[in-house]
Amino acid sequence: MVKSFRPTNLSEALDIRMNNDVMIFCGGSDIMIKYRSWSATPAQLPNDVMYIGHLKELRSLDVNPSEIIIGAAVSFDQFLHDERIASMYKKPIEQIGSVAIRNIGTFAGNICHASPAGDTLPMLYALNAKVVLMSKSCKRVVAIEDFISGPGMTCLKNDEILTHIIIPNTVFSHSFYRKVGSRKANAISKVSVFAVADVVEHRLADIRIAVGSCGPTVIRLKDAEARIIGSNIPESQQMVNSVLRMFDDKIVPIDDVRSTKAYRSNVALNLIETFLAKELGQ
Amino acid sequence: MKVNFVLNQESVSVDVEHSSRLLDILRDLHQTSVKEGCGEGECGSCSVLLNGKLVNSCLIAIATVEGCHVTTLEGYRNTERFEAIKRGFEVSGGVQCGFCTPGFVLAAEAILSENPDPTIAEIRKGIEGNLCRCTGYQMIIDSILSAKDIGKGLW
Amino acid sequence: MNKISESIKRYDFEDKISGKAIYTPDVHPEGMIYAKTLRSKVPRAKILSIQTPTLPEGYFIVDHNDIPEKNVIPVVFDDQPIFATDEVNYIGEPILLVCGSEKSVILEIMDKIIIEYQPIKPIVSIEEAQSCRAPFIFKEQPHFVHYEYQKGNFDECVKRAKRVISDEFRTGYQEQAYLETQSMIGDYDGHTVCVRGSMQCPYYIVESLKVALGWDDTRIRVIQMPTGGAFGGKEEYPSIPGVHVALAAIKSKRPVQLVYERQEDIQCSTKRHPTIIRINSYLDESDDIIARDIEVKSDGGAYAGLSSVVLQRMIFSVAGCYNVENLMIKGTAFATNNVVAGAFRGFGGPQAFYAIEMHMENIANQLKTDPIRLRKKYFVKQGDTSSTQGVFHDLIVLDRITDEVTAMSDFFEKRSRFKSEKQKGIGCSVFFHGCGFTGAGEPDLIKPSIRLKKDKSEVEIFISSTEIGQGALTTMRKIVATTLDIPINHVHHNYPDSRDCPDSGPTVASRTVLIVGRLLQDCAVEMKKRWDEESFEITQNYIYPSHLSWDNQIFKGNAYPDYSWGANVVEVEIDETTYEIDVKGIWAVYDIGTPIDSKIVQGQIEGGIVQGLGYAMMEVLESKDGKLSQDTFTTYIIPSSLDIPPIFSKLVENPSSIGPFGARGLGELPLVGVAPALASAVQQAIGTKISKIPITPEDILRGAQL
């Protein structure tokens, strides 16, 4: 019989987390699918579970000029309805699952599930997002690319809860997001690219490109970005090609039930090229 | 685990395994309009309103429903808004085998309560998580368009 | 518009919209227990032993030992067992049931059952079946059936042909994906067993119960419940859970519920047959097509099921709408250790028309003529004979249908313009669907019978046709009410109960309105003559129209009692970055005779077209080593509301001479023509020949010359 905990506040949650081996249940969609059993039987959870989706401290969504701070229990729907948040940050979220999925799903859950196809992840990587990990004794802030170490793997310690996600609230002149799934709604991503750039007086002041579903984790090549920062816009085809070559070397998509290696890598490069050669020129 | 919630405006208390699916608890409480089509959050046949928001009840652990308001078609069908949606589906032919229908009715309510005058694109997006194998969707979209006109002022 | 075509409120509307409609999983009779099926995890093996744990009180197993009479599910051949005995032939084959009152306990018991298999090398493709040797899956041969038939003077034409155009096409599996999974409830009162459930054909289950139990009609009762979609997937398959649940109810004397999980349903229930179809057309010196030879191969899976009947429809349809008088047509349904293939809307038609229509497109391209002009040259007309030499007695309006669809879609202008606009394409297809059972199946196999009962001002319909979403509970009433000229609310029709409904045949083959509806109309005409009598019943039996004939030995004559016709145009644009197919529009024109209800007809058209769209480009279903790779709704992708293109449809009214009020069949036709029209459009857009479906962006990348 699996034990369950329903703390009344975050402090209590951290106590429970420290003293028990519990699985954290926030929105729970991924958990309920993974551990589902025969109809009309409860989900067969492998260890004790702690529900945190109701905790008020985790439901706050703060937006200030420098940061967007998303509580772990903030649903995608809540995020999408917040008018303070720029629409470029909403693009990937609007395409997650369906209305019903977005009403329950959370950034925290998507991050901790750490699927190579996680829909929030390319944007979070591109924007240099950080996660706040709290335990009874300490609080640490970890960059997203250091937090996720592989498919389904994070560096969350057994006594920690991911409480907030911090996204620097940077302004960019250009943004780009494209997710390719097997259908237009409610589809797991076959390949996705999230990119932002800041073009100031025809020069590229900043650029971030992140590719999803083409490797065990999101792929972002800071050296490719550094290569073209400072260059003139529109980019020369040579410049674009050299960035594409760097990505081609590093992305490692696979063949699976949804798609093929060849398709993923071809389309990822096409999408990056579209951003660099077409979008930035405008 | 004891869980207290409000089902169609009546207080309910259940004592069940915490990871029981809301879908199963509701069907045990005679809400048979809530259907199981896939058990994996893809088809929307199990859609209910949780605090007014459309959710897949097959993905909701009952432990998270404490203190919440749940609406199923058994409750919703007593409302004036339902009558407008019903008339919309009638004139536009949006029902065939009927299995997905309860989910679509609640999805329609979710769309119209967010925006009483949705565009076709907004309606399509609002029902993106409800699968129908019989109609090909167009007549369901027409039904919701009809409902919004018939029920003008209700949302 | 014919008065009967005017749409009325559906009779099942109120219950379904309010959530009051009770489907099988919603029923919980007192004392009900649950059953779960233990299935083979391997594609082919001998079962050496089955070890079951000690069962707690009240829990029991049902297996082949519990079958009183014959361990056979009768379909066409008797090769499929109810429960496996000493061998299994596909992943998902049922071995036994575990039954009891607590699901968690049933699961625990199932976890402890140990089956010792001795694997046998499985046959997992048509190619492997063709070259396989003993041990065979079915009898002592690699196939279930092999058919051949000819027309005209094929060999002579081949000799004088100047050129051959050849193609080979492949079509994939498709899953019906009805929203309500297979569901049954069995009850036994000590004398009669009653099976209620989700089904298309109550009498198929009655027959299966008779074979399994050896009991007569008085002890067997089957009742259809509101059914959440079927599309052929609940034609022959439900006999399996139906008999399973009956055996469990008989053994326990308690009501037993058997409802499949979605993944289980996809893995083990019947699928659309994959095919390889090769067509050679022989042209003379004027580039006229003078002969064709066609070979159809299908993957029937592990048991014969309906593979022979599906193959027949394939070979009777594959010559298409064309009057090429010299034909050599062959078909083989192979036995493999893949999932059993069976009925799915179209029933071989979608595969056959994919092949012939893509082949015609190819000929048009090679002859540098436009695809419509090429087709029109060969369209069959009234008085011509079909590929099986059956006379087309009715007026055929293919020219009109084709002209309408090309006008609606601006086909010629776009076809020409897209030659120089990259990534854009437009394609067409022209097709038919034979309505009613193949050949003389109606009088010889089904022998449909219906009954009407008058009680003062009320009339009740007794037929075995099932409401599966297609509106049967409404259309049948309309036919009777209109014929009797009484208000429709005086006509009653319930979900069929074998206790009081005669066998009017299965709800399949687009026959419900055409055959059963016509019987009701004829019966109502008789009833009208006697309307002054207060209460009486009339039974009406089917009479095979005298102008039709069929020789089942040589496949000669009228392959179907009637035909419905159609044409589709599909326009696409390929995304040059992602290779995704953006369908800009689907145009459809159909001759289904007189529509019995315009909204019901529209619903069938749009629903069928979207299923055809899924078949053509989204519903990838692959089998590797006997295991389906896409077996959940997350991996098996059916269209959502965001995937549907604009659909424009129109009817051309050309009344049937044998259907009620001039109506023909409709249910399957709309699915049949979409895939070749879409594939031809994609072909134009990417400049590469396409020879398979489904076509995915990954395929387009592989073949693209973008």
* Domain assignments of chain C as residue spans, ordered by start: 24-120+182-259, 275-436+561-703, 442-504+531-541
Q: Is B95–C10 a contact, with Cβ atoms under 8 angstroms apart? A: yes
**Of the candidates A140, A168, A196, which is a domain's last residue?**
A168
Cβ–Cβ under 8 Å, residues A198 and A205: yes
Residue of B nearest to C22 (CA): B32
Length of chain C: 706
Residue that the structure tokens 């004398």 belong to: C191
Distance of alpha carbon B94 from alpha carbon B89, whole angstroms: 5
Peptide bond into A234 cis (omega under 30): yes
Whether B122 maps to a domain, the answer reads yes
Strands (E), C592-646: 623-624, 627-628
Residues B109 and B142 reside in one and the same domain: yes
CB of B66 less than 8 A from some CB of A: yes
Residues B83 and B105 reside in one and the same domain: yes
Residues A42 and A71 reside in one and the same domain: yes
User: Structurally, how many domains does chain A consist of?
Assistant: 2
Distance of alpha carbon C641 from alpha carbon B131, whole angstroms: 8
Contacts A–B by Cβ distance under 8 A: 105
Residues A13 and A115 reside in one and the same domain: yes
Cβ–Cβ under 8 Å, residues C666 and C510: yes
Angle of helix C674-686 relative to helix C598-617, nearest 10 degrees, comes to 50
A-chain CB neighbours of C641 within 8 Å are: 185
Distance from CA of A78 to the nearest CA of B (A): 11
Q: Is B128–A6 a contact, with Cβ atoms under 8 angstroms apart? A: no
Q: Is A54–B64 a contact, with Cβ atoms under 8 angstroms apart? A: yes
Which residues pair with residue A217 across a beta bridge? none
Distance of alpha carbon C13 from alpha carbon C20, whole angstroms: 10
Which residue range is the domain that position B141 belongs to?
A: 79-150
**Per-residue model confidence (pLDDT) at position C706:** 40
Instruction: Name the residue among B136, A205, B101 with its Cα closest to residue C643.
Output: B136
Distance from CA of A18 to the nearest CA of C (A): 32
Task: Report residue C214 as tokens.
Answer: 């050896």
Q: Write out pLDDT tens, residues C406-457.
A: 999 999 999 999 999 999 999 999 999 999 999 999 999 999 999 999 999 9
A-chain CB neighbours of B67 within 8 Å are: 54
Distance from CA of C474 to the nearest CA of B (A): 11
Residues A83 and A219 reside in one and the same domain: no
**Per-residue model confidence (pLDDT) at position C704:** 63
Which residue range is the domain that position A179 belongs to?
A: 174-279
Q: What are phi and psi of A4, to 5 degrees?
A: -130, 150
Q: Mean pLDDT per 10-residue run, chain B (155 residues)? A: 97 97 98 98 98 98 98 98 98 98 98 98 98 98 98 97
Mean pLDDT of chain B: 98
Distance of alpha carbon C156 from alpha carbon C423, whole angstroms: 43
Instruction: Name the residue among C42, A103, A114, C64 with its Cα closest to residue B53.
Output: A103
The CATH number of whichever domain residue B33 belongs to comes to 3.10.20.30
SS3 call for A177: strand
Residues A11 and A119 reside in one and the same domain: yes
Mean pLDDT of A230-254: 91
The CATH number of whichever domain residue A262 belongs to comes to 3.30.390.50
Fold annotation for C275-436+561-703:
Aldehyde Oxidoreductase; domain 4 (3.30.365)
Distance from CA of B108 to the nearest CA of A (A): 12
Residues B97 and B138 reside in one and the same domain: yes
Residues A162 and A22 reside in one and the same domain: yes
Say yes or no to pLDDT of A22 above 70: yes
Residue of A nearest to B108 (CA): A99
In this prediction, what percent of chain A has a pLDDT beyond 90? 94
Q: Is C36–A37 a contact, with Cβ atoms under 8 angstroms apart? A: no
Residues B83 and B39 reside in one and the same domain: no
Distance of alpha carbon C638 from alpha carbon C636, whole angstroms: 7
Distance from CA of B83 to the nearest CA of C (A): 10
Residues B7 and B71 reside in one and the same domain: yes
Whether B155 maps to a domain, the answer reads no
Whether B125 maps to a domain, the answer reads yes
Residues A117 and A224 reside in one and the same domain: no
Say yes or no to pLDDT of C705 above 50: no
Q: Is B97–C228 a contact, with Cβ atoms under 8 angstroms apart? A: yes
| Matching fold, domains C275-436+561-703 and C442-504+531-541 | yes
Q: Write out pLDDT tens, residues C57-78.
A: 999 999 999 999 999 999 999 9
Say yes or no to pLDDT of C176 above 90: yes
**Of the candidates B24, B53, B75, which is a domain's last residue?**
B75
Task: Report residue B2 as tokens.
Answer: 């004891």
Q: Is B21–A42 a contact, with Cβ atoms under 8 angstroms apart? A: yes
Q: Write out pLDDT tens, residues C645-690.
A: 999 999 999 999 999 999 999 999 999 999 999 999 999 999 999 9
Q: What is the ipTM of this complex?
A: 0.98
Instruction: Quote the longest CA-to-CA distance of chain C.
Output: 81
Query: In this complex, which chains have at least 3 CB pairs below 8 Å with chain B?
Result: A, C
Distance from CA of C191 to the nearest CA of A (A): 31
Cβ–Cβ under 8 Å, residues C247 and C66: yes
Residues A142 and A248 reside in one and the same domain: no
Distance of alpha carbon B100 from alpha carbon C638, whole angstroms: 14
C-chain CB neighbours of B42 within 8 Å are: 632-634
**Of the candidates B40, B56, B75, which is a domain's last residue?**
B75
C-chain CB neighbours of A38 within 8 Å are: 36, 103, 106-107, 261
Q: What are phi and psi of B42, to 5 degrees?
A: -105, -30
CA atoms within 13 A on the CB side of C61: 19
Q: Is A185–B128 a contact, with Cβ atoms under 8 angstroms apart? A: yes
**Of the candidates A168, A188, A209, which is a domain's last residue?**
A168
Query: Under 8 Å CB-to-CB from C434, ≥6 apart: which residues?
Result: C313, C316, C317, C349, C559, C560, C562, C563
Which residues pair with residue B123 across a beta bridge? none
Residues B140 and B83 reside in one and the same domain: yes
Antiparallel, parallel or unpaired: β B53-56 and C193-197 = unpaired
Query: In this complex, which chains have at least 3 CB pairs below 8 Å with chain C?
Result: A, B
Residues A38 and A160 reside in one and the same domain: yes
Distance from CA of A34 to the nearest CA of B (A): 9
Whether B13 maps to a domain, the answer reads yes
Distance of alpha carbon A82 from alpha carbon A74, whole angstroms: 11
CB of B53 less than 8 A from some CB of A: yes
Residues B90 and B71 reside in one and the same domain: no
B-chain CB neighbours of A42 within 8 Å are: 16-21, 24
Cβ–Cβ under 8 Å, residues C558 and C548: yes
Residues A130 and A199 reside in one and the same domain: no
Q: What are phi and psi of C544, to 5 degrees?
A: -65, 125
B-chain CB neighbours of A33 within 8 Å are: 40-41, 59
Q: Is C629–A267 a contact, with Cβ atoms under 8 angstroms apart? A: no
Residues B14 and B68 reside in one and the same domain: yes
C-chain CB neighbours of B98 within 8 Å are: 12, 15-17, 21, 226, 228, 469
Residue type for position B36:
E
**Per-residue model confidence (pLDDT) at position C248:** 98
Whether B117 maps to a domain, the answer reads yes
Question: Quick one: which H or E segment has residue C588?
Answer: strand C581-591
Whether B135 maps to a domain, the answer reads yes
Q: Is C640–A40 a contact, with Cβ atoms under 8 angstroms apart? A: no
Q: Is A183–C640 a contact, with Cβ atoms under 8 angstroms apart? A: yes
**Of the candidates B45, B75, B105, which is a domain's last residue?**
B75
**Per-residue model confidence (pLDDT) at position C476:** 98
Instruction: Name the residue among C197, C198, C193, C205 with its Cα closest to residue C249.
Output: C193
Q: Write out pLDDT tens, residues C530-559.
A: 999 999 999 999 999 999 999 999 999 999
CATH code that applies to domain C24-120+182-259: 3.90.1170.50
Distance from CA of C230 to the nearest CA of B (A): 9
Residues A189 and A82 reside in one and the same domain: no
Mean pLDDT of C565-584: 97
Distance of alpha carbon A164 from alpha carbon A70, whole angstroms: 5
Distance of alpha carbon C156 from alpha carbon C561, whole angstroms: 31
User: Structurally, how many domains does chain B consist of?
Assistant: 2
Instruction: Name the residue among A103, A72, A53 with its Cα closest to residue B18.
Output: A53
Q: Is A103–B64 a contact, with Cβ atoms under 8 angstroms apart? A: no
Q: Is B129–A40 a contact, with Cβ atoms under 8 angstroms apart? A: no
Which residues pair with residue C569 across a beta bridge? C428, C587
Q: Residues in chain A whose beta carbon is closer than 8 A to a beta carbon of chain B?
A: 2, 4, 6, 25, 28-29, 31-33, 35-36, 39-45, 49, 51, 53-54, 77, 97-101, 103-104, 184-186
Give the closest of C10, C179, C642 to B99, CB-based.
C179
Q: Is B90–C632 a contact, with Cβ atoms under 8 angstroms apart? A: no
3-state secondary structure C183-194: EEEEEECCCCEE
CB of C111 less than 8 A from some CB of A: no
Residues A87 and A223 reside in one and the same domain: no
Query: Under 8 Å CB-to-CB from C74, ≥6 apart: which residues?
Result: C207, C208, C211, C239
Task: Report residue C471 as tokens.
Answer: 């509106």
Distance from CA of C450 to the nearest CA of B (A): 24
| Confidence band, pLDDT 50/70/90 cuts, at residue A235 | confident
Query: Under 8 Å CB-to-CB from B73, ≥6 apart: which residues?
Result: B31, B33, B34, B102, B105, B106, C18, C19
Mean pLDDT of chain C: 97
Q: Is C227–B130 a contact, with Cβ atoms under 8 angstroms apart? A: no
Can you say whether residue C368 is alpha, beta or left, with left for phi > 0 and alpha for psi between -120 and 50 degrees? left
Cβ–Cβ under 8 Å, residues C282 and C291: yes
Give the closest of A183, A257, A271 to C639, CB-based.
A183
CB burial of B45-59 (b: ≥16 within 10 Å; e: otherwise) equals bbbbbbeebbbbbbb
CB of C334 less than 8 A from some CB of B: no
CB of B56 less than 8 A from some CB of A: yes
Fold annotation for C442-504+531-541:
Aldehyde Oxidoreductase; domain 4 (3.30.365)
**Of the candidates A135, A168, A201, which is a domain's last residue?**
A168
Peptide bond into C142 cis (omega under 30): no
**Per-residue model confidence (pLDDT) at position C608:** 98
Whether B39 maps to a domain, the answer reads yes
